[in-house]
Chains A and B, each alone.
Chain A
Amino acid sequence: DQQVKQNSPSLSVQEGRISILNCDYTNSMFDYFLWYKKYPAEGPTFLISISSIKDKNEDGRFTVFLNKSAKHLSLHIVPSQPGDSAVYFCAASVSNDYKLSFGAGTTVTVRA
């Protein structure tokens, strides 16, 4: 059963605009959340993470928001750049665990 869900398989955004990617989870034990970015023929690359004690974490153009009551997190990319075109995976784990549970991914295309 899918414990992490990314319901939007794709997103197209104009360069310079905001990209918002969404992720929902069902397992209330999850307390650590990550976003990975993946280019074709490469492995996923860690982007940003957030623990459940926070509701926001920012790193440059990337901000992750966590809403624990809704079991929902989102990734904001501002401003979007052509190099951001990739597949983005949401992942979650229990902090003392090692297994990552991934969503199916969202393909982002940034248009010039």
Chain B
Amino acid sequence: GAGVSQTPSNKVTEKGKYVELRCDPISGHTALYWYRQSLGQGPEFLIYFQGTGAADDSGLPNDRFFAVRPEGSVSTLKIQRTERGDSAVYLCASSLRSGRGYTDTQYFGPGTRLTVL
């Protein structure tokens, strides 16, 4: 079946601009995650959705970052007034969240490489 897809694959923008990054999770997955991977680092957690609601947004670095998932499927990560330090690969993942107690396997998309000039 289709995996997690992310668009665009690459985004170049200028400092101060607004960007939106889109994630389409695996069909039927109720949980959706956003991570950010800076150069030479592992992915860092940003936000987690269970259904339509953001269950945990503690990883968002500041109030310029916001994410939505209005219908419980597609999610959009929004970054206002972009800064050069926002340049990174933004990864989206989804999982079933069956509630069995153990962490469900998170399946990652290919990421969006954001470059802020």
Instruction: Identify which of A42, A49, A99, A105 contacts B42 (C-beta below 8 A).
Output: A105
The number of chain A residues with a CB under 8 A from chain B is: 27
Q: How far is the CB of A90 from chain B (nearest CB, A)?
A: 8
Residues of A within 8 A of B105 (CB): 34, 46, 49
Taking CB atoms and an 8 Å cut-off, the chain A residues in 34-86 that contact chain B are 34, 36, 41-46, 49, 51
| A102 interface hit (Cβ, 8 Å) | yes
Output the nearest chain B residue to A92 by Cβ-Cβ distance.
B103
- In B85-112, the 8 Å CB interface with A consists of 91, 93, 95, 97, 101-103, 105-111
Complex CA distance for A36 and B55, rounded to whole angstroms: 24
**Chain A residue at minimal CB-CB distance from B95:** A98
Given contacts A41-B110, A42-B110, A43-B91, contact A98 B103 (CB under 8 A): yes
- How many contacts A-B (CB < 8 Å)? 64
Given A44-B43, A89-B42, A100-B43, answer yes or no on A95-B33 (Cβ-Cβ < 8 Å).
Answer: no
CA distance A52 to B43 in the complex (A): 22
B interface size (C-beta, 8 A): 28
From A6, A43, A89, A91, contact of B110 by CB (8 A): A43
Q: CA of A49 to CA of B93 in the docked complex: distance in angstroms?
A: 17
* CB–CB B101/A98 < 8 A: no
18 additional A-B residue pairs with CB within 8 Å, beyond A44-B43, A98-B56: A6-B42, A32-B102, A42-B110, A43-B109, A44-B91, A44-B108, A45-B108, A49-B105, A96-B101, A98-B48, A98-B95, A99-B45, A100-B43, A100-B103, A101-B45, A102-B42, A104-B42, A105-B41
